[in-house]
Amino acid sequence: MNILIIIGSVFFGFLFLYLILHLMIKYVFKSDSKERIEGLHYFAIASAAIITASFGYYTYNEIKESLQIDLKVEQVDTGYSDSKGVFITVEIDNKGLESASLYNLKKTSPLVIYKVEPYKKNKQRIKSVDKYTPEFYKKLYSTSEMQEKNEGHKVVDRRVISSSEKSNLKYYIELEKKKTYYITFTLGPDNLAFSKNPDDFDTNKSDLEPDKKIDYHKFVSKYIVTN
């Protein structure tokens, strides 16, 4: 769908620019010389083609690698008076033209939670007093489900998201009640790569070839207060 948008934008952009330049030649650069009119006519075509091609190239590079990320947080009771269970879902929508591979998720810990509190001397500023890096789970089971399956939570290190696909990364952590936390999620060259062919990503490898890495960064954050 995205590539059709680019093609349509380039085509109609070319027609629009051509008409503008053609009308300028006809009514602004008036001339009785047939050769001059033909020369300006070809100049209009060439100018419209160059400008449209530049726009198309820029647009393609803008959406070739494009991720939209959102953080969803749900708090649940743990049965303890001093802690709160926090489910964090990282919703990733790959709107780009290439498949995205999130890798090294254990090593790089893209999700970081900071416990924050105000400075004593300046209440308008906050400081980090603790830091947590929960792991990404392939699936979160309830206690009864774990007993039935005779297995615990499955922690994985890789997730491949094809073009136009949505995917969720699920995290869980227990945090102290009635405290403020700053949640951040960061992707970059150390844990993110793109490719036109999803088969380029070998899920058994813990790293990728250097030529598949790019200079692309994505950062989202959210404050929460545990109740």
Which is nearest to 15 in space by CA: 57, 49, 39? 49
Q: Which residues contact 58 (CB under 8 A, 6 or more apart)?
A: none
User: Based on the structure, what is the number of domains in the chain?
Assistant: 2
pLDDT of residue 40: 60
Instruction: Say which CATH number the domain at 131 has.
Output: 2.60.40
pLDDT of residue 158: 80
150 lies in the same domain as 179: yes
pTM of the model: 0.67
pLDDT of residue 113: 97
Domain range enclosing 180: 67-225
Q: Measured between alpha carbons, how far apart are the two ends of the chain, in Å?
A: 43
- Hey, what are 40's tokens? 């300006």
13 lies in the same domain as 123: no
Q: Could you report the average pLDDT of every consecutive run of 10 residues in the chain (227 residues)?
A: 56 64 60 57 66 62 76 92 92 88 86 92 85 77 49 65 89 93 93 77 52 73 95
pLDDT of residue 1: 47
56 lies in the same domain as 81: no
- List strand residue ranges (DSSP E) for the chain, in order: 67-77, 83-94, 99-102, 111-118, 126-132, 137-139, 154-155, 159-161, 166-176, 180-187, 192-195, 218-225
